[in-house]
Amino acid sequence: MPLLLVDLDNTLVDRDAAFRAASVEFLTTHGLPTVDVDWIMRVDASGYRPRAVVAQALRERYASLDAGSVQAFIDRGAADFVTLPEATRFALRHAVTAGWTPVVVTNGSVTQQEAKLRISGLASEVAGWVISEGVGVKKPSRAIFDAAAASVGARLEDGGWVIGDAPQADIAGAVGVGLPSVWLHLGRTWPSELPFQPTHVADHLPAALDHILTVTRS
Ligand SMILES: [Mg+2]
């Protein structure tokens, strides 16, 4: 059963849209100006800025707010607002029917990422998942991809594809383990300074799966 090693944030779910919704709720709940949502999104940098740095920026901007409220928002992140697009659910089921084994490979905290998997309904659509905090190693390290394969009783040598939106985590990881990859461009151009490239570039997850199923059909 070939593996589909799939990133979670901004690949399977629109994490940035969910974080924006969570930010609006945070601002509204605490009587803060909702126009600040754009400032929060910039500080957050699609989740790539360390959470402690984001928390510090929020505490400084909203000095009158208690630290617990800021931390609760940071800890929960986008989790309560993630949804699984129907087209993505359909594409995953189609891939499973065609004999593929989807496993989520994500960098992040166990509490937050498992909440996303559960709340979006992804937990019952994939064969398994590995979260960097849980296995003590992050993408692009080979070890997290090995752990993903092992979580479903497979080995990377048995073949598979990697899908993700992050050049340095997902695509570098694929290159490191010798698997082909699909990069979701999300409106960006591939960073030409990188010494590696994805096998294929796609608009969104269903298009990525469609490509993989087409080129591997024998
Ligand atoms: Mg991602």
Distance 10 CA to ligand 1 centre (A): 5
Average pLDDT along the chain: 96
- Domains in the chain, start-ordered, CATH in brackets? 3-14+82-217 (3.40.50.1000), 15-78 (no CATH)
Phi-psi region of 204 (alpha: psi -120 to 50; beta: other; left: phi over 0): beta
pLDDT of 218 > 80? The answer is no
pTM exceeding the 0.85 threshold for the entire prediction: yes
Can you tell me the mean pLDDT for 103-127?
Answer: 96
pLDDT tens readout for residues 47-83: 989 999 999 999 999 999 998 999 999 999 999 999 9
CB atoms within 10 A of CB 180: 16
CA 120 – ligand 1 centroid, Å: 16
Measure 84 CA to ligand 1 centroid, in angstroms.
Answer: 14
Percent of the chain with pLDDT over 90: 97
pLDDT in tens, 117-149: 999 999 999 999 999 999 999 999 999 999 999
Handedness of CA 24, 25, 27, 31 (dihedral sign): positive
Q: How far is the CA of 166 from the centre of ligand 1 (A)?
A: 5
Residue 201 pLDDT grade (very low, low, confident, very high; cuts 50, 70, 90): very high
Alpha carbon distance 188, 69 (integer Å): 34
Beta bridge partners of 29: none
